[in-house]
Structure 1
Amino acid sequence: MIEHLNVPGVIGLIYLVMYICIIIFFSICMCGLLTSMDERIPYFTLADSIIGANPGMGHRPILFEEGALIWYKADNETQVKNIQQQEFVGEPRREPA
């Protein structure tokens, strides 16, 4: 009986049924999602949302009145070492010779 079956056709039929089921499941999920959302008002806003009140900024700049300059002491070896590492990071990369 197996000799008479077209194996690639059976496999294709199985995949066709599987993808039809996936499309139906996705459509049901999208319908549920779209009916639960309001088109005019977002559900989470500002501080209630996951990304917070200012989503476009990963770092807030310090105002000049608060002291935007970084001060370090030249006699503190740790601070001088950190500044030298920061300057190294800012240098353009050199191609190996």
Structure 2
Amino acid sequence: MITKKILINKGIICELVDNREDAIDLVRKSKFDLVLMDAHLPGINGTITTELIRIFDKTTPIIAFTAITLHENRKMLLSFGMNEVITKPFAPEEFYITIAEYI
């Protein structure tokens, strides 16, 4: 994943999962500074995953990734418990600035 490479290049340690169950399990068992959540990945549905995480973790920041236009979905994504929204494609420097606000 390109995003993981971008994070590693900045010295950020990250975990990558590809399904809802693993994401929920990992957040439940580990302490993270931040969760990056693909909002519309087929088969995962990041919005529902975020709602389920928020049942037991109300404080870890969750930032949504979405390829859909920001003005159409920002309010909806935030309503599921996400703290911020980053639209794809994104400029790496803007990405770093956004995540730095939460870690």
TM-score by length of 1: 0.19
Structure number with higher relative contact order (C-alpha < 8 Å, ≥ 6 residues apart): 2
Which entry has the higher C-alpha Rg, 1 or 2?
1
TM-score by length of 2: 0.18
